[in-house]
Structure 1
């Protein structure tokens, strides 16, 4: 098998996605800190899982070269 450029490009895209997501969530930290702790925990739990959603098509593209099945 011949290595493709998609895997390194995809890895950099994943890292960029994570950094952008962290910056976005951290920019709202002062507003989130004003909320009650159970709501804070829920927000951080949900945002901690949400960044995974765009990874499925990106990983599929890295493997197959197609965005959709």
Structure 2
């Protein structure tokens, strides 16, 4: 398992979470500039990216124990 995933310490993962939320929030703030469904799809993409990030953080946490 450790060969598949880049080892991330719990402190690094927790330190990265606020920055990730800031990036996603910045993308969401500019979503009104998009026409039609592009803003909605951008928000869905940001939520999906956050879920994937949280999944990999939890997997890394389990792998490093």
TM bracket, shorter-chain basis: 0.5 to 0.7
Tell me which of the two structures has the higher relative contact order, counting C-alpha pairs closer than 8 angstroms and 6 or more residues apart: 2
5+ residue gaps in structure 2? 1-8
Q: Please, what TM-score do these two structures have when normalized by structure 1?
A: 0.53
5+ residue gaps in structure 1? 1-8
Q: Please, what TM-score do these two structures have when normalized by structure 2?
A: 0.55
- Cα RMSD after superposing both structures: 2.8
The aligned length equals 56
Larger radius of gyration: 1
Q: Which runs of 4+ in 1 moved over 4 A?
A: none
